[in-house]
Amino acid sequence: MINLSTGPVAISPQVMKTLQEAPISHRSPAFKRLYQQTTEFLNEAFQVRQTYLLTGSGTLANEVMLQEIKNKNEKGLILGNGEFGNRLIEQARRHQLQFDTYDVEWGEKFDPEEIKKRLETDVVRWILFCHCETSTGVINDLQAIITLAKSFNVACFADCMSTVGTVPVNLSGVSMATASSGKGLASVPGLAIIFSNIEQNEKKEGPVYLDLSHYAKNDGIPFTISSNLVKALSISIQQKLRGPQFEFIQYYGEQIFTLLNKKEMVPFSNADTKVFTIVQPGQSIMHFTRKMKENKLLVSSESEYLKKRKWCQLAGFGYYQEKELDYVLKVLS
């Protein structure tokens, strides 16, 4: 099977091999060097001051980011245009944050003028949103929102789960952003990634596991982290971000978009999209997913939000050989 799902994603043989190695202690000098080299590479790749790796999923990364926002004790604005924007809103409510929401229909983009209008109120001190709304594949305008936030002296926080490693991303203008090892960086699931450009203040309450200042005081490693997962990520980010992998996935993503768009199957997508939400009438989506499986292509269709709407998704998040993506184009054609 060629894995075109939104996760877990296709990984390289070199990344797979790291899972067979004997783990090393997270207190050892060798692990500390590996952790430092990996986070420094990510700092440079995404132009941030500090990167933290935590044992957990992307949802954990967002919980940590929300804990940092809560510590500000100020009112904010959360943007929602799909399943994962809505998830941020629900998580924020559980953290008892003070915020307003700006919601638009699934598949629609946010109106910059509407965001500006809401930021003009002096009670809004932070903004939170998904860079790519994975449920539809819509890429929201990160730089435009950063610019707006900066002009109103508002802190900017972004969920970048589906854009880190899949499209060019400069995170120098955000306060904090989140990602996961098991999506666009083409590694094994299990590491939550937090990119930060702000100082972490010590928390007086809440779980210590979510307190990023505790990580900062301990060189990022206060608790056990799997050396296998960190080494897998270290290899995958160099393969994905340094080699030809990134460029040819950009090319094939555009080709996939062109094929699907001609048949009006991807109403929310554009040429930059790397997660394509297939929308078809009636039973034809079942026919499409069956044909994909018959041709050894693995797509996503089991998430509740997909089943509810009778959608499916294919994504270019993983590590691929060029001949595999040639075959994908042939099958889609």
254 shares a domain with 122? no
Task: Evaluate whether residue 7 is within a structural domain.
Answer: no
User: Quick one: pLDDT band at residue 304, thresholds 50, 70, 90?
Assistant: very high
| 227 and 308 part of one domain | no
Q: Rounding to the nearest 10 degrees, give the CA dihedral for residues 38, 48, 249, 269.
A: 140
What pLDDT, on the 0 to 100 scale, is given for residue 142? 97
Q: Which of 270, 236, 85, 74 is nearest to 167 (CA)?
A: 270
Domain assignment present for 236: yes
Residue 5 lies in a domain: no
Instruction: Find the CATH number of the domain harbouring 257.
Output: 3.90.1150.10
In this prediction, residues 131-139 reach a mean pLDDT of: 97
Count other Cβ atoms within 10 Å, centred on residue 203: 17
The overall average pLDDT reported for the chain is 95
pLDDT tens digits for range 165-223: 999 999 999 999 999 999 999 999 999 999 999 998 888 888 999 999 999 999 999 99
36/32 Cα distance (integer angstroms)? 6
Residue 243's pLDDT band (boundaries 50, 70, 90)? confident
CA dist., res. 147 & res. 270, Å (int): 23
Q: Are residues 289 and 212 in the same domain?
A: no
**50 in the same domain as 158:** yes
Please compute the mean of the pLDDT values over residues 88-101 and round it to a whole number.
97
Say if residue 324's pLDDT is above 80.
Answer: yes
Q: Is residue 3 part of a domain?
A: no
Residues in the chain: 333
Over residues 52-70, the pLDDT tens digits come to: 999 999 999 999 999 999 9
**pLDDT score at 134:** 97
The pLDDT score that the predictor gives to residue 103 is 96
Report the share of the chain in percent with pLDDT over 90.
92
Percentage of residues of the chain with pLDDT beyond 70: 100
Instruction: Tell me whether residue 2 is in a domain.
Output: no
**Which residues constitute the domain of residue 319?**
244-332
Q: Are residues 217 and 267 in the same domain?
A: no
Per the confidence metrics, is the pTM higher than 0.85? yes
pLDDT in the model for residue 201: 84
pLDDT digits (tens, 9 = 90+) for 264-294: 999 999 989 999 999 987 778 889 999 999 9
Domain count of the fold of the chain: 2
Tell me, yes or no, whether 85 lies in a domain. yes
pLDDT number for residue 282: 72
**Same domain, yes or no: 237 and 248:** no
Among residues 219, 241, 263, which one ends one of the domains? 241
Cβ-based neighbours of 168, under 8 Å, separated by 6 or more: none
In a domain, 251, yes or no: yes
